[in-house]
Amino acid sequence: MKKGLVIVNTGNGKGKSTAAFGLLLRAWGRGLRVCVVQFIKSETGKWGEIKAAQKLGIDWFTTGDGFTWTSKDMDETVARAIAGWEVAKEKIVSGNYDVIVLDEFTYAMHFAWLETNQVIDWLKSNKPTELHLVITGRDAPAELIEYADLVTEMTEVKHPYQQGILAQAGIEF
Amino acid sequence: MKKGLVIVNTGNGKGKSTAAFGLLLRAWGRGLRVCVVQFIKSETGKWGEIKAAQKLGIDWFTTGDGFTWTSKDMDETVARAIAGWEVAKEKIVSGNYDVIVLDEFTYAMHFAWLETNQVIDWLKSNKPTELHLVITGRDAPAELIEYADLVTEMTEVKHPYQQGILAQAGIEF
């Protein structure tokens, strides 16, 4: 049996979720069974990647409420992260997928909405050996990096916001 | 008219091409017209991203011959890079696309198969203002970074090869 990789895309730059999405599509292109459990972001359907996934019939579970750094209702945000982790656990043990992306999941650990060691311990005990798991987000905890097989840090070298260019539909979201 | 972004994904880590591919799919999800001109890699059809693109009807032009660091026939490799750039130029000015990915294109400049300044000058004069251009590969030349709007460096933090785990179909290629 092949060992499924635990992949972490972290850092302050672009491309963490986008690379996870690209990996998902690559896997889908080979006929693997894939899904996304998306933390933080809300189900507005305004995201290009969700539109693409819908077109492709890829399972995509949004669990967030559109949390931003100015969110007022942190109780709701935390409750959604905890509920999202329950969704993720269910998908992980389901046997229905070869590749699962937990998008923006690092925040739940970084902000201690979930206990990092409990998450890692659960994964060590319950993740099917052959399942590939991709986790994205800034500030990946050290315990997660230790547990992961493949960790990439995306670093912002130059960003158009610096030049006053706004984010554009279809490119950055 | 919106300004198209020039995006560069560089660095020694994973995710450069994968993030470009994810961006492409996101754009495709929004109905934008997208294509890939792929340098270096050959048309073996063994790549998961090509399989996915084929399923989606995304235009994908491979121009390389499977160059590796042990390639013997450098004349052929260089000739293909030059021919690939001609393909890229044709697609860029065609007006048929909103987003074009030049995958692994940095190498042609880094190894001076193409003159970087000539490439940049051509782009400055000929790239349609609204076209988004994504260029991937290690060792992006300084002139390219200067020209680009959005530059991300992907850095390898941890890699499974270090642990003796081989690359896996559908995940890394």
What does the block give as tokens for B137? 């590969």
Q: Do A153 and B154 touch (CB under 8 A)?
A: yes
The end-to-end CA distance of chain B, in Å, is 37
Sign, CA torsion A94/A99/A103/A106 = positive
The mean pLDDT value for B44-61 works out to 80
Counting DSSP H helices and E strands in chain B, the numbers are 6, 6
ipTM: 0.72
Q: Which domains does chain A have, with CATH numbers?
A: 6-155 (3.40.50.300)
Q: Percentage of residues in chain A with pLDDT exceeding 90?
A: 60
The mean pLDDT value for B102-124 works out to 96
**Considering only A8-12, A106-110, A158-162, B27-31, which range has the smallest mean pLDDT?**
A158-162
Is the pLDDT at A59 greater than 70, yes or no?
yes
For A16, the closest chain B residue by CA position comes to: B19
Residue B7: per-residue pLDDT: 95
Amino acid identity, position B146 = E
Q: How far is A58 from chain B (nearest CA, A)?
A: 12
Nearest to B21 by CA among A58, A168, A49: A49
Residue A57: per-residue pLDDT: 85
SS3 state of residue A96: coil
Dihedral, CA atoms, B110, B143, B125, B128, nearest 10 degrees?
80
Q: Do B25 and A26 touch (CB under 8 A)?
A: no
Contact with chain B for residue A78, Cβ under 8 A: no
The mean pLDDT value for B26-48 works out to 83
Is the pLDDT at B95 greater than 90, yes or no?
yes
- A-chain residues within 8 Å CB-CB of B160? 5, 149-150
> In the structure, what pLDDT confidence band is assigned to residue B74 with cuts at 50, 70 and 90?
confident
Is the pLDDT at B68 greater than 70, yes or no?
no
- B-chain residues within 8 Å CB-CB of A159? 150-151
**Within 13 Å, how many C-alpha atoms sit on residue A14's CB side?**
25
Higher-pLDDT residue of B52 and A7 is A7
What does the block give as tokens for A111? 């902000």
CB A116 within 8 A of CB A126: no
What does the block give as tokens for A90? 């269910």
- A-chain residues within 8 Å CB-CB of B23? 18, 22, 171
Q: Residues near B19 by Cβ (< 8 Å), separated by ≥ 6? A: A14, A15, A18, A19, A22, A154, B9, B136, B152, B154
Residue B33: per-residue pLDDT: 96
What does the block give as tokens for A87? 């969704």
SS3 state of residue B11: coil
For B148, the closest chain A residue by CA position comes to: A158
- A-chain residues within 8 Å CB-CB of B56? 56
Amino acid identity, position A29 = G
Q: How far is A112 from chain B (nearest CA, A)?
A: 23
Q: How far apart are CA B13 and CA A7, in angstroms?
A: 12
Q: How far apart are CA A123 and CA A119, in angstroms?
A: 6
What pTM was estimated for this model as a whole?
0.82
CB B91 within 8 A of CB B100: yes
CB A145 within 8 A of CB A110: no
Query: What H or E segment, with its residue span, contains residue A100?
Result: strand A99-103
**Within 13 Å, how many C-alpha atoms sit on residue B158's CB side?**
17
Task: Report B:101-120 residues touching A (Cβ under 8 A).
Answer: none
Residue A163: per-residue pLDDT: 60
Q: Do B48 and A30 touch (CB under 8 A)?
A: yes
Is the pLDDT at A135 greater than 80, yes or no?
yes
Is the pLDDT at B109 greater than 60, yes or no?
yes
Of A28, A132, A154, the CB nearest to B152: A154
SS3 state of residue B76: helix
| Helix axis angle, B16-29 to B48-56, nearest 10° | 10
Q: Residue A65, Cβ neighbours under 10 Å: how many?
A: 17
Q: Do B30 and A160 touch (CB under 8 A)?
A: no
Residue A43: per-residue pLDDT: 61
pLDDT tens string A72-90: 677 888 888 999 999 999 9
Higher-pLDDT residue of A122 and B70 is A122
SS3 state of residue B95: coil
